Structure 1
Amino acid sequence: VYNGGDHSGFLLEGLILPPVLIVDVILGLLGNVVALWIFCFKLKSWNPNNLFLFNLVIADFLALVSLPLRIDALLRGHWVFGDSLCRINLFLMFSNRSASIALMTVVAVYRYLKVVHPHHRFNSMNKRQAAFLSLFVWLLVISPRVPMLAYNHIKGSGNATQCFFFTSYKEASWAIIFLVGMHRILTVLEFIFPLALLLFCSIRISRFLKKRQMGKPDKVRKAMRVCVAIVVVFLVCFFPTTVTTVGVWAIRSYRPWDCDSFYTFIQLNIVSLGLNFLNSALDPVVYVFSSSMFRRALCSSLPRTLRCRRLCEEATLDGSWSPEPACWCCSFKGCLKPSA
C-alpha cells in the first residue's frame, strides 16, 4: 500500500477495498475450509495432481488469513497491531499470492503433459517427487519476499500509523526502494510468464485433441475445462494489478513530474489488490475441475438428495466407483447404483 504523505488519498482505498476484501475472505474461507476438510479427511488416495492442489489450498488459506488485519486497518484508518504483525502480514499477503500463481501454473502444465505427452517422465513422478517439487515451488516464490521481514514498514505515529510496503520515496531508505522495485518486477514477471505457459498449454491441448480425435471426449473436455478455468481466473484476478503496476513504473521512469497520474495509478494499483485475493475465493472451482477424486469426495460428503448423476457416472466410467452407500449419487427418481 502506498502513502505519499497526503492522507486524503486514503479515502479511495478505504471506501472500495474493505467490502471487496470482506467478500474475498468470506467466500475464500468457506471454499478453502471445505477443500482442506476434503483433502485431509475425505480423500482416500493421493496422486501428484492432488498434492499440487493441496499446496494451492494452503497458499490460498494463508493469504486469506492475512486479510482481516488489513481490513481492520482500512476501516479504522490506521494500523494498531505493531511492527512485527505488520511485517508478517505483508509477507503472507505477497508470498502466498506468488505461491498461488506458481501452483496454478504447475497444475495446468501437469494437465497439459498428461494429455499431450502421456509418456513424458514428468507423468511418472510419484507422490514423494511431487512433494519435493511443491517444496521447490514454495522456496522459489518465498525467497524473494523474505527481505520484507527484515525491515520496519510502519509509517506515522499515533492515530496516523500505517502498515505500508509502498512508501513515499522521499522518506524511504535505499533498501526499501530496492525491495519495492523488486516487488514490482516480480509482480509483472509473475503474470507474464505463467500467463504465457497457461495459454500455451490451452492452445496445445486444444490442437492436439482436435488433431487426434481421441476416443474419450469426456476426458478431453475435462482437460480443456481445467486450462480454460485457470486462464480465466488468472486474467480476472491478476491482469488489473499488472497493468497498474506497469503504469506506476512507466510514469515514475518517464514522467516523474506528473504527480497526478502517478498518484492515480498508485490508487488503482492498491484497489486492484482486492482482485488478487478474489483468486483465493475462485480456486476451489479449479479443484472441482482438476481432480476427479476431489469431485467424488465432495459428492460423497453432500446430502444424498444433492448428489449429482454426473459425478456418479464419472466414477463408474473410470473404474474408481466405491461400493459404499455413502458414495451413491442420487437423482429425483431415486438412488442410482452403477451396474456391475
Structure 2
Amino acid sequence: MTNCSTEGVDTLTKKLDLVIYVPILVFGLALNIMALVVFCRLLRKWTESSIYMTNLALMDLLLLLQLPFKMHAAHHEWAEDKKLLCSFLESLYFVAMYGSIYTIACIALDRYFAINHPFRAKQLRSKRNALIVCVFIWLFVMGATSPIYTFRREKTGNFTCFHGFSDKGWSTALIVCLEVFGFLLPAAVLVVCSIQSIRTLKATKNSNRKKQAGVRIIYSSLAAFLVPFTPCHIAIFLQYLVRNDHILDCKKKQDIALFIQVSINIANVTCCLDALCYYFIAKEVRSTKDTLKLSISRGRTTSSSDV
C-alpha cells in the first residue's frame, strides 16, 4: 500500500485550517490578552488561582502565535535552510499545548486541596508555591519537547513545516511517553480531583444554588479538557500505528490522516474555551473560599467539642 495518497485529505484540511484557525486566532488573542490585563492590572491581589490562570493564558497565547505559521506552512513548502526555525516553532506549539494540559491539571489539584483538605491546604497552598509550580511546568515541557529538533535531520530539500515528521517522531518510546505523561496522567489527576471535589461540594451544607453552580463549573472544566484533547491523543496513537505499518488499509490510512488533522484543530479551540472559563473559575474560587471557611469552622467546632 505504498501508493496510498492523502492528497484529497490535505486539500480538505487546508480549507478547514482557514475556517477554524482564523476565528480562533482573532477571538483567542482578544480574550487571552483581556484576561492577562485583568489578572495583571485590575485584580487587587494575587492569589494561587490567579497565578495558575495567568500561566494558562500565557500558554494559550504562545500557542495562538504559532497558528499563522501553521496556516502558512499548510499552503507553502519551506526551504531546507529554515529547518531550525520550523523545529523551534513546532517546539513552541507543543510546549504551549502540553503546558496548558499540565496547568489545567494543577488548577484541579489546587481546587481539590482547597475543598477537600482545607487545613492541609493552608500549609501547601501559597503564591510562592504556585509560582514555583508554573516555572517547573515551563521547564518540564520545554525539556520534554526538545527531541523535536531531531525530527527533520534525516530529510533533505524543501519540506512542509508542522507536517511530515521523520520516523524518529513516531518511535514507540516517544509515543508511549507522550500518551502517558502528556495526556493520560494529567487527565487522571483532573478526573479524580474533579470527582472528589464534586462529592465534597454536594456534601456541604452550603446553599443549593452555590453547590449547583460550583458543580456545574467543575463539570464544564472537565468537559473543556476531555472533549478537545481526548480525540487528539487517540488520533496520535492511530497515526503511530499507521507510521509503524500496523495499519495497512489505504482507506483507513486516509480516514486517520483526516481524523488527526481535524482533532488537532479541535484541540486548538481550547485557547478560546480557556479564556471564556476564566470568569467562571474566578467565581468558583470565591465560592470555594466560602466552603473552605465552613470546613475550617466545622473542624474547629469538632475539635473543641472533643476536649
Q: TM-score scaled to structure 1, two decimals?
A: 0.73
2:200 to 189, 194, 208: 208
Offset of 1:34 from its aligned partner? Answer: 0.4
* Residues 73, 162 of structure 2: 8 Å contact kept: no
Match in the other structure for 2:47: 47
Alignment of 1:75-114 (within 5 A): 76-79=75-78, 82-114=82-114
Match in the other structure for 2:188: 196
* Structure 2: distance between partners of 1:124 and 1:138: 21
Alignment of 1:11-50 (within 5 A): 11-50=11-50
Alignment of 1:218-237 (within 5 A): 219-237=210-228
Match in the other structure for 1:330: none
Question: 1:252/1:84 Cα in 2 relative to 1: closer, same or farther (>3 Å)?
Answer: closer
Match in the other structure for 1:63: 63
* Structure 1: distance between partners of 2:234 and 2:180: 8
Offset of 1:216 from its aligned partner? Answer: 4.9
Q: Is 1:163 aligned to residue 161 of structure 2?
A: yes
* Structure 1: distance between partners of 2:221 and 2:237: 23
Query: What is the letter of the counterpart of residue 77 of structure 2?
Result: H
Question: 1:223/1:115 Cα in 2 relative to 1: closer, same or farther (>3 Å)?
Answer: farther
1:277-329 C-alpha deviation (Å, 9 max, x unpaired): 1011110122111224999xxxxxxxxxxxxxxxxxx9xx99xxxxxxxxxxx
1:281 to 272, 281, 288: 272
Offset of 1:234 from its aligned partner? Answer: 1.0
Q: Which has the higher strand share?
A: 1
Offset of 1:103 from its aligned partner? Answer: 0.3
Offset of 1:202 from its aligned partner? Answer: 2.5
SS state at 2:140 partner: helix
* Structure 2: distance between partners of 1:222 and 1:48: 21
* Structure 2: distance between partners of 1:9 and 1:293: 42
Offset of 1:156 from its aligned partner? Answer: 6.8
Question: 1:8/1:77 Cα in 2 relative to 1: closer, same or farther (>3 Å)?
Answer: farther
* Residues 48, 130 of structure 2: 8 Å contact kept: yes
Bigger RCO of structures 1 and 2 (CA < 8 A, at least 6 apart)? 2
Alignment of 1:254-269 (within 5 A): 255-269=246-260
Query: What is the letter of the counterpart of residue 126 of structure 1?
Result: S
1:210-260 C-alpha deviation (Å, 9 max, x unpaired): 33x323555534542342121111122112212222323345557343243
Query: Which stretch shows the higher mean deviation, 21-30 or 93-102?
Result: 21-30
Q: TM-score scaled to structure 2, two decimals?
A: 0.80
* Residues 51, 131 of structure 2: 8 Å contact kept: yes
Identity rate, percent: 25
Give the number of equivalent residue pairs. 285
> Structure 1 stretches of 5 or more lacking a match?
296-313, 319-340
Query: Which stretch shows the higher mean deviation, 256-265 or 38-47?
Result: 256-265
* Structure 2: distance between partners of 1:226 and 1:193: 22
1:70-112 C-alpha deviation (Å, 9 max, x unpaired): 11222x3434692232112111111110000110111111112
Q: Is 1:243 aligned to residue 200 of structure 2?
A: no
* Residues 202, 224 of structure 1: 8 Å contact kept: no
Query: What is the letter of the counterpart of residue 186 of structure 2?
Result: P
Offset of 1:45 from its aligned partner? Answer: 0.6
Match in the other structure for 2:300: none
* Residues 38, 294 of structure 1: 8 Å contact kept: no
* Residues 188, 246 of structure 1: 8 Å contact kept: no
Match in the other structure for 2:152: 152
* Structure 1: distance between partners of 2:232 and 2:6: 22
* Residues 175, 237 of structure 2: 8 Å contact kept: no
Offset of 1:269 from its aligned partner? Answer: 0.5
> Structure 2 stretches of 5 or more lacking a match?
292-307
Question: 1:92/1:287 Cα in 2 relative to 1: closer, same or farther (>3 Å)?
Answer: same
* Structure 2: distance between partners of 1:83 and 1:5: 25
